Amino acid sequence: MATVTYIALGSNLGDRLRQLQRAVGLLCDVITIDKMSNVYETHPVGVEDQPLYLNQVIRGTTDVPPAQLLQQIMTFETELGRTKTFPYGPRVIDIDLLLWGDVAMGTDRLVLPHPRMYQRGFVLWPLAEIEPTFKCPVTSFSMEEWLKSYPTMDGVWRYNPG
């Protein structure tokens, strides 16, 4: 049976929008995508002296188990030109597995739900856009409730390339 999964995408180097589109195209090989948020432009987190990010969240279903899905995501990042630099540094693409069904797990390689997703407006705003009433399997808070900690969209705004 297919499991609902949520993936966050981000890029702040090169043609950022094209990188997100390319990532979505690759993810279609392992996920049947049924919802995509708008694209948001955001300030970087952690290391502020770098270009602005474009971010997006997608929802879909997959038969791929979480550890295998993470490995495939890492392969896609490499195919798209991501190279490891330093934590929170600039990147051509960043693909994060946020949620895989209602699974709560923690290993040295994968923690679900993503441990920092509730601290990041660039994840919460697009996730709440596509799933406002979705409840976290660990905390039972909805995305709308999580957004109460982000009462404004400071540092996060809908991308308008024109």
Residue 69: φ, ψ to 5°? -65, -40
Q: What's the pLDDT score for residue 86?
A: 81
Over its C-alpha atoms, the chain yields an Rg (Å, rounded) of 15
- The average confidence (pLDDT) of the chain is 91
Q: What is the predicted pLDDT for the residue at 153?
A: 64
Q: Are strands 3-11 and 105-106 parallel, antiparallel or unpaired?
A: unpaired
User: What is d(CA 58, CA 44) in angstroms, rounded to the nearest whole number?
Assistant: 20
Flag the least confident range among 12-16, 36-40, 70-74, 153-157.
153-157
Active site residues: 82, 91, 94, 96
Would the pTM of this model clear 0.85, i.e. be above it? yes
Q: Among 31, 43, 58, which residue's Cα sits nearest to residue 126?
A: 58
Instruction: Say how far residue 92 (Cα) sits from the centre of its chain.
Output: 14
Enumerate the domain spans of the chain.
Answer: 3-158
CATH architecture of 3-158: 2-Layer Sandwich (3.30)
Cα–Cα distance measured from residue 139 to residue 117, given in angstroms and rounded to the nearest whole number: 12
96-147 pLDDT per residue, tens: 999 999 888 899 899 988 888 877 889 989 998 999 888 877 788 888 887 7
